[in-house]
Structure 1
Amino acid sequence: MSSAPEPRVRLATAQDADAVFRLLTGFATTYRPDPDRFTAVTFPEVLRAAAEGRAEFLVADQQSRVVGYAYAARIPTLFAGGTVLELLELAVDAPLRGHGTGSRLVREVQHRARQAGDAEVTVPTRRAADFYRRLDFTETATYLKWPSPPRP
């Protein structure tokens, strides 16, 4: 009996849009992703930000099927004396959770942060705090947010 090979982490491409949207709909708890806006605006903008070095956008694929993704935005800061890479989204297919795919994606984000000279990698989460602690993250702040009213 053979098991499936471990997912490999690679840069996201335009061809990954449908798979990322599928994962996103399982990840988003506060927002309901709009498929038209995703296709026309947000997915292309995230790809552009990654191509320009303003973000990291990675997918994990297993046998040519995307099974996870990570999106982190690079933010210039004054307090850190450089850029901070904020890991905003990490999603893995439910059957693969707990088997190292998410950890593999996060480790690659950390590696890319080191290569880029980012001051730190941050993650705004409470729900997955234990997962990130196992990957050497420490709790330093609580996120507060103000939801901007919808555009007319």
Structure 2
Amino acid sequence: MTVRAVTPADADDVLRLLRGFATSHSPEPGRFTTVDFPAVLAAAAAGRAKFLAAEEGGRVIGYAYAARVPTLFARGTVLELLELTVGTALRGRGVGSGLVRAVLEAAGRAGDVEVCVPTRRAADFYRRLGFTETAAYLKWTPGG
């Protein structure tokens, strides 16, 4: 397995993985292709995010997306790991851990002051990688 930056050619594999990851939102293929995926690629290209793929045999088998947020409270940028997914059949083989380690290394190189993950479902996974729980994650959705 290799970890590398996601490229435009990875769109189909990322969409396939996203469909297995998203629980509260369903990706819309047309919007994904024309709006969402290009926006995430642009954020990564501008240094405002990390968008990494785990590749095996020429196919993307997992990805991680983390957004870089400037903060006042932390006195620097925080890298928020928003999406981490691995194909169902390949879970438990270290792919997700490898992607998280690559995100942590990127944060260190960029001088980010912390990496955080908004999750409840995967809390034990992140604890095993050295993360500690610090806050609850609340959300509000406009219009509902």
Query: Which of the numbers 18, 41, 50 marks the counterpart of 1:24?
Result: 18
Residue of structure 2 in register with 1:107 after alignment? 101
Residue of structure 2 in register with 1:144 after alignment? 138
CA radius of gyration, larger in = 1
Residue of structure 1 in register with 2:114 after alignment? 120
- For structure 2, the residue ranges without an aligned partner over 5 or more in a row are none
Residue of structure 2 in register with 1:129 after alignment? 123
Paired amino acid for 1:25? R
**TM-score, scaled to structure 1:** 0.93
Corresponding residue SS for 2:136: coil
CA-CA distance at 1:95 after TM superposition:
1.0
Aligned counterparts, 1:77-96, within 5 A: 77-96=71-90
CA-CA distance at 1:148 after TM superposition:
1.7
- 1: CA distance, partners of 2:74 / 2:133: 16
Residue of structure 2 in register with 1:3 after alignment? none
Paired amino acid for 1:24? L
**TM-score, scaled to structure 2:** 0.98
**Residues paired across the two proteins, number:** 144
Residue 45, structure 1, aligned to residue 30, structure 2: no
CA-CA distance at 1:33 after TM superposition:
0.7
Paired amino acid for 1:128? A
Paired amino acid for 1:9? V
Residue 34, structure 1, aligned to residue 28, structure 2: yes
- For structure 1, the residue ranges without an aligned partner over 5 or more in a row are 1-6
Residue 8, structure 1, aligned to residue 8, structure 2: no
Paired amino acid for 1:20? V
Paired amino acid for 2:87? D
Q: Deviation above 2 Å: which 4+ runs of structure 1?
A: none
Instruction: Please give the per-residue CA displacement for 1:60-94, whole angstroms capped at 9, x wherever unaligned.
Output: 01010100000000000000001000000001001
Instruction: Please give the per-residue CA displacement for 1:102-144, whole angstroms capped at 9, x wherever unaligned.
Output: 0000000000000000010000000000000011000000001
Task: Using the aligned pairs only, state the percent identity.
Answer: 66
Corresponding residue SS for 1:126: coil
Residue of structure 2 in register with 1:59 after alignment? 53
Paired amino acid for 1:76? P
Corresponding residue SS for 2:85: strand
Corresponding residue SS for 1:43: helix
Query: Which of the numbers 64, 67, 76 marks the counterpart of 1:70?
Result: 64
What is the RMSD of the two structures over their aligned residues, measured on CA atoms?
0.8
